[in-house]
Amino acid sequence: MVTFVEGPVRVSVPATSANLGPGFDSLGLALDLRDELEAEVVADGLQVEVRGAGAEDVPRDESHLVVRAMRAAFEVMGAAPPGLRLRCRNVIPHARGLGSSSAAIVAGVSLARGLVAGGSLLVGDDALFDLAARLEGHPDNVAPAFFGGFTISGRDDDGFWSVASAVDPRVGTVVFVPPTPVSTEVARGLLPSGVPHADAAADAGRTALLVAALAGQPEQLWRATRDYLHQEYRRAAMPASLALVDELRADQVAAVVSGAGPTVLAFTDGPGAAPVSAERLLARSPEGWHAHHLAVDRDGIRSL
């Protein structure tokens, strides 16, 4: 018989940036911008409290994404809590290409496992990651949110998989977050059903180079982040974002659209390393946007 732990369980989960230019639906990077969540099994009902990003828009019922993820994990473990209380302190911007939905899903399945006595024995990390990726539909944001760092992920006949890859300690990021959101559905809807073979081949080469550049050759990041598969097709949905990418790349800054956008991510290679120092990049934030200097998060989901 499944039993539940007494008292609340708390987790922290990072923002993530997927694609990183050429690595469409396969590369992801965890960033040091974290949501904090707390859940507890109670006698009955469902209580959902939300503060911070998205607080005015997200539902407070069973349709809340964290709650849906928790229910899915409870079902896998054969658990049915009589009631739940959930508290969310959101920092990750919603619908901006920084993995807010993946963060919610990863937090939800992790909270549910933590609330079940012996939950880690019932569902191991690999199985929990696979569940989270299935709920999201693709693993590129889920993998770094769960495992931290830089991940290469995908899906085959055996399910979802993720492999960690090194990140040079000199590498950091600046993210430029615009005030207007763009939904992932809209951004994906602009992509063509096929691309020229030459573009696919060029993208494969840049993706391989990006893995090497992040691992220890950050001087190659500008060349490595050139995308041929998705960013240009999405220009109509986020013209200001692509204009900023163009402007930064013209100055040899490794800039990309973060995930499905519209946030723009630029790589730095350490403080004082002009022309890609964080200080210089922060000064280039468009009016009305929010810019953040973020380190690479190495932990992924963690208990508090």
What's the per-residue H, E or C state across 226-250?
CCCCCCHHHHHHCHHHHHHHHHHHH
Q: Name residue, tokens 């959902």.
A: 48
Return binding residues for ATP: 93-103
Task: Name every residue whose Cβ is closer than 8 Å to that of residue 146 and which is 6 or more positions away in sequence.
Answer: 106, 125, 128, 129, 132, 162, 300, 301
Tell me the C-alpha distance between 225 and 265, whole Å. 11
Alpha-helical (H) ranges within the chain are 65-77, 100-115, 119-122, 125-136, 142-147, 184-189, 197-216, 221-224, 239-250, 278-282
Would you list which residues are annotated within the binding site?
93-103
